[in-house]
């Protein structure tokens, strides 16, 4: 794994963790009424997608357990159609997808460290 790919993974993980932190213990109803939290989470999701777009195709194929193209697609929806963004989708990403993404990134980074030994 190249150094810039490791950096992208670490940044992606940090943005995911921060978005989950912003969501906190809010219910969907509370989240959907809190425009600052929605905007902060959407920004983090768009940053995650932006970072995914910087990965080489060979990396994406090698680590295809992570849906990099869907991540990039989410970024495009946020950036190009923010007004039409469905909060239920954002909520599902925050609540279900990001925790798994964090685990997958940790596993990927850990396997890289083992591979260097």
106 assigned to active site: no
The 10 Å Cβ neighbour count of residue 69 is: 12
* Spatial CB neighbours of 25, under 8 Å, sequence gap ≥ 6: none
Query: Which residue in the list 4, 54, 80, 106 is annotated as catalytic?
Result: 80
4 assigned to active site: no
Query: Which residue in the list 4, 75, 77, 86 is annotated as catalytic?
Result: 75
Q: Which residues carry out catalysis? A: 75, 80
């Amino acid at each position: 794994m190249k150094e810039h790919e490791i950096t992208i993974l670490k940044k992606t993980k940090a943005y995911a963790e921060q978005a989950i932190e912003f969501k906190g213990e809010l219910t969907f109803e509370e989240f959907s009424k809190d425009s600052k939290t929605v905007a902060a989470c959407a920004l983090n999701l768009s940053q995650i997608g932006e970072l995914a777009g910087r990965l080489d195709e060979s990396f994406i194929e090698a680590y295809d357990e992570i849906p990099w193209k869907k991540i990039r697609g989410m970024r495009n929806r946020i950036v190009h159609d923010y007004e039409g963004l469905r909060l239920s989708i954002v909520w599902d990403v925050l609540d279900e997808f990001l925790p798994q993404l964090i685990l997958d990134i940790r596993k990927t980074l850990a396997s890289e460290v083992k591979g260097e030994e």
